Amino acid sequence: MDKRISNRCVLGLNLSGHDSSACIVQNGAVFAISLERLNRIKHSGPITGDGFEMHHAVNYLLNLENIAIEDIDSIVINSPEQEDWLKELASKRYPTHDVALLPQPSHHIAHAYSAFFTSPFKEAVVLVADTVGSYAPNKYARECETAFLFDRRNEPKIIKRNYRTPGEISAGWLYSFITALLGFGGSQIPFSGAGKTMGLAPYGKNRDDFPDFTDYYKENKNIPAVDFKNMLDAQGLLPKPIQEKELGINFPEHVKWRVDCRLPHEPITDLHKDLAYFAQKNIEDRVLCLIKDIEDKTKIKNLCLAGGTFLNSILNKKIMDKSSFQRIYVQPAATDDGCAIGCAMWGLLEKSDNSNKKEFFGMPYLGKEYSDKVIGAFLKDLNTSFHTRFICKEISPTKEPLKKIASALADGKICGFFTGRSEFGPRALGNRSLLADPRRRDMKDRLNKVKKRESFRPFAPTILRERVLEYFDIDVDKAVYLLPFMTVVANVRGDKKDLIPAVVHVDGTSRLQAITQKENERYYQLIKEFEDITGVPMVLNTSFNCQEPIVETPFDAMKTFLENDIDYLFLDPFLIIKNNPREIELL
């Protein structure tokens, strides 16, 4: 890498209202953390009840590699409206350090940089789509879909850009809005449960009394807000006080809308299922039109995707099946947390020449790793940290822990698996995961109960890469940069569905992760051990959490283990078993 680039140290921050995050790039190494992992508030924005908390995320990263705040030469954000807040934060928390605040990239540029500079491509089309991005220069419309051409020699070029005005809605906005209507988001971020809408969609059906917006998408137009309003009105979903308002209002207002549709604790009806289906169909129709349009504009065959829209793994399958792009990469932290990486990369390259702008690093393990010594010390203090009796004569690493875990999984146990650096982004990909046996028919219901999730939600498998084609119908060449990150679904082969019922969704698909030994050695070895016992080269993998953000520290992992119906906890290299809720021991 160019020395002028490698010697710089840049802090990127995502301070937009949800999924706040920080990323430091220094000497070619990248560290990133979402604030929610530290303050334990899902999708946390930068300012929470007790004041400024972003400095916790920054300090966490600084401590990872003993970086001093004085080493940071630039801070980049993508929310211009947050600049005053950032200056206050910097002067309050780091008063002795005078840091450069560079001009800010737009929200979509930050997404795009995060995708291209974590991809393996030398050149690529980068498509960004989300609920809402930065304001256009006219301060009226806002970014909704942007396509760029990136290569390693030149500034990125915008080849397509759609803005949404307050009288219009985009397909991404429609998806978020229906998610809020269905009561899937929290009270703070009503659209944050988009994954639940995706999970519910296959249970729904197409309805003649819902409008068809395909023509707008084909003509590259947004949907007139009034069309969507009329649809909701016809279904009795529009509360009267809101009828007078146009649909371009801000989200906090929309929390009210759920009252007439569904509250989180209420049952799911056929109408809810059909609304989810409608949202899914619309996002697929719109994005496929966009992709077709982009394909006509370029000969480049690599596609990068970022923005919350592309956490939709069913949509990503459609893109894979129907587009002519030969290689597709979805930035695993595709929603706004990923913008911190984009900001850091943008800042790193802003002051450098254009000669060597390509740097690839392996997503998604960008967080902190805890040494054996630190975890051992944590276990030593356990009896004082938790009201639990910890039975062990001495604290020493477990012998052959992976064999023991594999055997426990095969025996129907649920195991918290904590190893290596934490993942950045919404998916647990083997380092902060809850694991179980995919062969057990009752495991989906059991785990949904443990995690207090809706019963319709599916679980995903992690499979050894070399065995993917035996179990799934997927173009592994095209999906090679999707498979490690659980960003695409695939059809489970007919003869395998009964073998792994806990990870097959109602539509016959799985949102699979497939790994090589190089990508995650510890996790790969565990699956190998499980295969030795069962003949099945995969485990069920879900995030290590129960309603909270994914565990980040050994403390979070232990707390989640003790408070929930989880049988084993692996704090690498120590394997812990629960004899009863008040008594645990080291194996």
Of residues 15 and 464, the one with the C-beta less far from Fe ion: 15
What Cα–Cα distance (Å) separates residue 253 from each residue in 187, 192, 242, 248, 566? 11, 15, 9, 10, 39
Burial readout 115-154 (b: 16 or more C-beta within 10 A, e: otherwise): bbbbbebebbbbbbbbbbbbbeeeeebbbbbbbbbbbeee
Closest CA to 125 of 306, 282, 360, 289: 306
Of residues 130 and 519, the one with the C-beta less far from Fe ion: 130
**Least distance CB 303 / Fe ion (angstroms):** 18
Q: Of the listed pieces 17-25, 80-88, 335-343, 535-543, which binds Fe ion according to CB under 5 A?
A: 335-343
For residue 423, give every residue at least 6 positions away whose Cβ sits within 8 Å of its Cβ, in sequence order, or none.
332, 364, 365, 366, 367, 429, 430, 431, 432, 550
Q: Of the listed pieces 122-130, 230-238, 310-318, 441-449, which binds Fe ion according to CB under 5 A?
A: 122-130
Q: Of the listed pieces 18-26, 130-138, 366-374, 470-478, which binds Fe ion according to CB under 5 A?
A: 130-138
Q: Are 507 and 427 in contact (CB under 8 A)?
A: no
Beta bridge partners of 464: 515
> Which of 19, 285, 336, 337 is in the footprint of Fe ion by CB under 5 A?
336
Of residues 310 and 325, the one with the C-beta less far from Fe ion: 310
Of residues 130 and 285, the one with the C-beta less far from Fe ion: 130
Q: Of the listed pieces 70-78, 208-216, 310-318, 329-337, which binds Fe ion according to CB under 5 A?
A: 329-337
Interface pattern 493-512 for Fe ion (x via CB under 5 A): --------------------
Q: Are 568 and 408 in contact (CB under 8 A)?
A: yes
Tell me whether residue 63 is exposed, middle or buried, using C-beta atoms within 10 angstroms of its C-beta: 0 to 12, 13 to 18, 19 or more. Answer: exposed
Q: Of the listed pieces 129-137, 414-422, 489-497, 553-561, which binds Fe ion according to CB under 5 A?
A: 129-137
Q: Are 168 and 225 in contact (CB under 8 A)?
A: yes
Closest CA to 491 of 479, 504, 476: 504
Of residues 128 and 328, the one with the C-beta less far from Fe ion: 128
Q: Of the listed pieces 262-270, 325-333, 336-344, 368-376, which binds Fe ion according to CB under 5 A?
A: 336-344
Of residues 130 and 552, the one with the C-beta less far from Fe ion: 130
Of residues 130 and 556, the one with the C-beta less far from Fe ion: 130
How many residues make contact with Fe ion (CB under 5 A)?
Answer: 2
**Least distance CB 297 / Fe ion (angstroms):** 23
**Least distance CB 451 / Fe ion (angstroms):** 26
Q: Which residue is nearest to Fe ion (CB)?
A: 130
**Least distance CB 133 / Fe ion (angstroms):** 6
User: Segment 449-488, which members bind Fe ion (CB under 5 A)?
Assistant: none
**Least distance CB 43 / Fe ion (angstroms):** 12
Of residues 74 and 114, the one with the C-beta less far from Fe ion: 114
**Least distance CB 336 / Fe ion (angstroms):** 5
List the strands of the sheet with 415-418, edge to edge. 389-391, 583-586, 574-580, 568-571, 415-418, 432-436, 538-543, 460-464, 513-515
Extract the tokens encoding 521.
């050695």
User: Segment 394-423, which members bind Fe ion (CB under 5 A)?
Assistant: none
**Least distance CB 560 / Fe ion (angstroms):** 29
Extract the tokens encoding 81.
């409206």
**Least distance CB 512 / Fe ion (angstroms):** 25
**Least distance CB 278 / Fe ion (angstroms):** 22
CA angle 148, 172, 237 (to 5 degrees): 165
Of residues 146 and 313, the one with the C-beta less far from Fe ion: 146
Q: Are 479 and 320 in contact (CB under 8 A)?
A: yes
Q: Are 405 and 415 in contact (CB under 8 A)?
A: yes
**Least distance CB 264 / Fe ion (angstroms):** 24
Closest CA to 17 of 106, 82, 61: 82
Cis peptide before 573 (omega within 30 of 0): yes
CA-CA distance, 77 to 214, in Å (whole number)?
36
Contacts by 242-248 with C-beta closer than 8 Å and gap 24+? 246/166, 246/167, 247/169, 247/177, 248/165, 248/166, 248/167, 248/168, 248/169
Amino acid at 227: D
**Least distance CB 196 / Fe ion (angstroms):** 19
Closest CA to 340 of 585, 544, 36: 36
Amino acid at 112: A
User: Could you say whether residue 552 binds Fe ion (CB under 5 A)?
Assistant: no
Of residues 127 and 527, the one with the C-beta less far from Fe ion: 127
Of residues 336 and 529, the one with the C-beta less far from Fe ion: 336
Of residues 17 and 347, the one with the C-beta less far from Fe ion: 17
> H helices of 296-400, where?
313-322, 339-350, 372-380, 382-385
**Least distance CB 307 / Fe ion (angstroms):** 5
**Least distance CB 130 / Fe ion (angstroms):** 4
Question: Residue 49: how many CB atoms within 10 A of its CB?
Answer: 7
Of residues 130 and 529, the one with the C-beta less far from Fe ion: 130
Of residues 333 and 490, the one with the C-beta less far from Fe ion: 333
**Least distance CB 114 / Fe ion (angstroms):** 10
Give SS3 for 325: coil
Q: Of the listed pieces 314-322, 334-342, 406-414, 508-516, which binds Fe ion according to CB under 5 A?
A: 334-342
Q: Are β-strands 74-77 and 9-14 bridged in parallel, bridged antiparallel, or unpaired? A: parallel
> Which of 19, 130, 552, 556 is in the footprint of Fe ion by CB under 5 A?
130
Residues that bind Fe ion (CB under 5 A): 130, 336
